[in-house]
Amino acid sequence: MHQSEVAIVGAGPIGLEAAVALGRAGVSSVVLEAGEIGATFGWWAPGTRFFSSPERIAIAGVPLVIAGEEKATREDYLRYLRHVAQQFAVDARTFERVVAVERAGEGFELRTVRSAHGVGGPAELAEGARVGGEAAAVYRAEKVVLAIGDMHRPRLVGVPGENLPHVSHYLQDPHVYYGRRVVIVGGRNSAVEAAIRLYRVGAQVTLCQRKAELERDRIKYWLLPELEWLIEKGKISFHAGTGVREIGSTSVVMDRAGAGRFEVAADAVLLLTGYVQDTRLFDMLGIDLVGAERRPRFDHDTMETNAPGVYVAGTAVGGSQARARVFIENSHEHVERIVAAIAGRRAPGLELPVFEGNEES
């Protein structure tokens, strides 16, 4: 049985940053991760760039240096996270999924099973809701930090054909869409970026959304003009105010107010309509989930939840965000608060970035 002062669930950037900060404060920790380090970023299509600039998503005081001073790609960031974990000898137990956590005396006991992938994502969606595996280990800790993220399962559209093999909630390598007719459902950044990238690789792209107009204030400022130009020139077909009614093997049936039903040919369908959080660990610990987004209840000064000794950090605090407000870049302060609460002092070596007036995420 492994014993540490703090068990951190989740080896994303904020989970790793918490481990480094606690170590600097003299507090031992172990990081438990169901997949690889930064598993959620592994679901992104190759070459996907962050919306945020490198200094905003750097962690633990380690600069994120990108060739050409560009924004980081998925590959850049995964490499960076590995190096941070290695540099600070973070005790990260990867491919161990926490399936049970409960109070044990003055602390907690966490049980893990061996896992082939992280929580959620395309692999788990393909398997269904099954969670299991060979027992891996038992961990005891005085405190628990849940840095589990918030994008575990797709927000389902709920129409016939959603489970067909050519339908996905995740963008694959753009190369696989070359020469294919692709229908993309969604009107925010992931859908817009996918539409632009797939047009560039030679796909015939149709973008549809429920809203009557593009949500200009919710699309990144560098994506919007390019999308509008492509739509205006007929390079991308755009159907606003449109809902998907059924997905068939070669087409998508849509419904637009005033126009009735119509079909669009499709060799591939991307339902990029957002994601929801897996709340099982919150439920096990009796953490209250509040509001429509089912956000965990916590003290903003310490990040401690209503379950004493259990803290929440990173995008996990946002629940199933309908409109993303919690990102890596505004979660660094969570680490400082947690270290102060557990170790009794400010997180050493953590310089909180200040970027007022230049919102990116």
Is residue 287 situated within a structural domain? yes
Mean pLDDT in residue range 157-180: 96
Is residue 353 situated within a structural domain? no
Least confident range from 51-60, 120-129, 307-316, 336-345: namely 120-129
CATH number of 215's domain: 3.50.50.60
Distance CA 26, CA 294 (A): 34
- Average pLDDT of the chain is 92
Task: Classify each residue of 238-268 as buried b or exposed e, where b means 16 or more C-beta atoms within 10 Å of its C-beta.
Answer: bbeebbbbebeeebbbbeeeeeeeeebebbb
Is residue 82 situated within a structural domain? yes
Per-residue pLDDT band for 222 (boundaries 50, 70, 90) equals confident
Tell me: do 43 and 125 sit in the same domain: yes
- Residue 16: Cβ within 10 Å count: 27
Tens of pLDDT, residues 234-278: 999 999 999 999 999 999 999 987 778 999 999 999 999 999 999
Domain end residue (candidates: 246, 271, 296): 271
Tell me: do 187 and 221 sit in the same domain: yes
Tell me: do 110 and 255 sit in the same domain: no
Distance CA 76, CA 43 (A): 14
pTM: 0.92
User: In percent, how much of the chain has pLDDT > 90?
Assistant: 80
Mean pLDDT in residue range 156-181: 96
Is residue 351 situated within a structural domain? no
User: Which pLDDT score, from 0 to 100, does residue 257 have?
Assistant: 77
Tell me: do 249 and 314 sit in the same domain: no
The three-point CA angle 326-291-217 to 5° equals 45
Tell me: do 257 and 282 sit in the same domain: no
Is residue 356 situated within a structural domain? no
Tell me: do 137 and 18 sit in the same domain: yes
Q: Examine the pLDDT at 24 and tell me if it is beyond 70.
A: yes
Domain end residue (candidates: 221, 250, 271): 271
Distance CA 241, CA 247 (A): 18
Residue 343, amino acid? A
Per-residue pLDDT band for 71 (boundaries 50, 70, 90) equals very high
Of 39, 30, 12, nearest in space to 91 by CA: 30
Residue 143, amino acid? K
DSSP code string of 237-261: EEE-SEEEEEE-SSEEEEEETTTEE
Tens of pLDDT, residues 310-331: 999 999 999 998 777 898 999 9
Tell me: do 55 and 79 sit in the same domain: yes
Tell me: do 122 and 197 sit in the same domain: no
Least confident range from 146-150, 214-218, 222-226, 326-330: namely 214-218
Is residue 300 situated within a structural domain? yes
Tell me: do 77 and 224 sit in the same domain: no
Tally the domains of the chain.
2
Who's near 353: CB < 8 A, 6+ residues apart? 55, 56, 329, 332
Tell me: do 35 and 149 sit in the same domain: yes
Tens of pLDDT, residues 98-155: 999 999 999 999 999 999 999 988 888 877 655 667 888 999 999 999 999 998 999 9
Distance CA 124, CA 267 (A): 24
Residue 152, amino acid? H
Is residue 229 situated within a structural domain? yes
Q: Examine the pLDDT at 355 and tell me if it is beyond 80.
A: no
The CB-side HSE value for 15 (13 A sphere, CA atoms) comes to: 31
Per-residue pLDDT band for 348 (boundaries 50, 70, 90) equals low
Tell me: do 225 and 285 sit in the same domain: no
Domain end residue (candidates: 243, 271, 299): 271
Is residue 348 situated within a structural domain? no
Tell me: do 6 and 143 sit in the same domain: yes
Per-residue pLDDT band for 353 (boundaries 50, 70, 90) equals low
Domain containing 28 equals: 2-153+275-343
User: Which pLDDT score, from 0 to 100, does residue 204 have?
Assistant: 98
Please name every residue paired with 265 in a beta bridge, in sequence order, or none if there are none: 251
